[in-house]
Amino acid sequence: MKITDIKVILVNSFMYVKVFTDEGIEGIGESGAWGFLPASAEAVESFKTYLIGQDPLQIEHHWQYMYRCFHFRGAAVMGAISAIDIALWDIAGKYFEVPVYQLLGGKCRDKIRTYYHVSGSTTEELVQNVVKAKEAGYNAVGHLSPFLDEPRSLRYHDSYSRMIHDAVERVRLMREAVGDDMDFCLELHRRMKPGEAIAFAKQVEKYTPFFLEDPTTPDNFDSMALITSKSNVPIATGERIHTVHEFEMLLSRNAMSYVRTSVCLCGGISGTKKIAAIAEAHNAMIVPHNPLSPVSTAACLQIAASTENFAIQELPDHTGIAASERYTSTNIMDQHSFSQKDLVTWIPTVEKGYALLPEGPGIGVSLQPDIETKFPFKRRTINTRLHEDGSIVDQ
């Protein structure tokens, strides 16, 4: 079997890669370089010159070849490698007529615990949406910002005391509303300095969050390690890094308990399994990052099923627009103008907070025809929040 063509498909806020073979088997993957998808598409075009004519089943060799060929990386390049890698695993599953998890060693679990995206622009809305998630059967919620989900067009200012106090108070109100049967994956959106994060962790720990995600920017591994060493609440991070070695450096510093692998950015299924193995050696669990489309979700579920040190799966609402777009909006958006489920042949079924695995060989999902015409690609606008004084706010 040989690769005959590779096609980039830019749709709405997503980028897919479809790999074709001379035996008629096709594979689909997704890039997670969501802010720079056109650049990621160009990286695919470069890798295409190597891949055409190759055996698609030699996945590890192709992964190493692409990863090491030019000695320069970055999110756009790693997003391209990830999308291609997922597509090759999809082809392999279809070739051997088994789900990808079967090729990864078989199932460690029959269904996948998920946490549901909850947002709110006011305290009342945030609490109401957590209650709605519980009523829908979920036992964990995430992308849950105690600082609220405010549009980036709104300039930010809070006193230090108000920032900490109000965030902790919101967690208290949510905990009282749903009790202890609901886990909170608190998303801090990298907006705190290490000292602020340590102070917040100390005050919020009495409400037993599952983890604090990305309390500070990902650039300095030692800063994350400092926060982790001073916090009694587990720390989750990793969604914005994309090499095996970066994850190893964080884990060797004991800088996280939960490893946020961006499957569509850190090297696809192959890269994620490498990172999961390193995490297992450090007694850390993986929580795959997934703000993307059902193609990403299908790939994540294959990993979750076959990885022993898996904790919980991030699950966005696939009946609406992209989560990455929803949480970076400038103004009020029409949340019902687009539905991701119209792009694909499958979206996950969730029962009592657990996602059922996709059926069929490969990753278990295909694209609907003519989606490029039906849902034209939209380049993301540069949109960074500012402080009241005009300086940049990390969020």
Catalytic residues: 189, 289
What is the widest separation between alpha-carbon atoms in the chain? 63
Backbone phi, then psi, for 82, in 5-degree steps? -60, -45
Which tokens go with 352? 């009592």
Helix then strand then coil, in percent of the chain rounded to 5, is 40, 15, 45
By CB atoms closer than 10 A (0-12, 13-18, 19+), residue 130 is buried
Q: Are strands 235-237 and 258-259 parallel, antiparallel or unpaired?
A: parallel
Residues in CB range of 210: below 8 A, 6 or more apart: 115, 140, 183, 184, 185, 186, 234, 312
Q: How far apart are CA 395 and CA 385, in angstroms?
A: 7
- Secondary element (H or E) of residue 302: helix 294-306
Contacts of 258 (CB under 8 A, 6+ apart): 211, 213, 234, 235, 236, 237, 284, 285, 286, 287, 311
What gap in Å lies between CA 234 and CA 59, rounded to an integer?
Answer: 34
CB 385 within 8 A of CB 329: no
Question: If you write DSSP's letter for every residue of 303-356 in order, what string do you get?
Answer: HHHH-TTB--EEE--TTSS-HHHHTT-SS---TTS--GGGGBS----EETTEEE
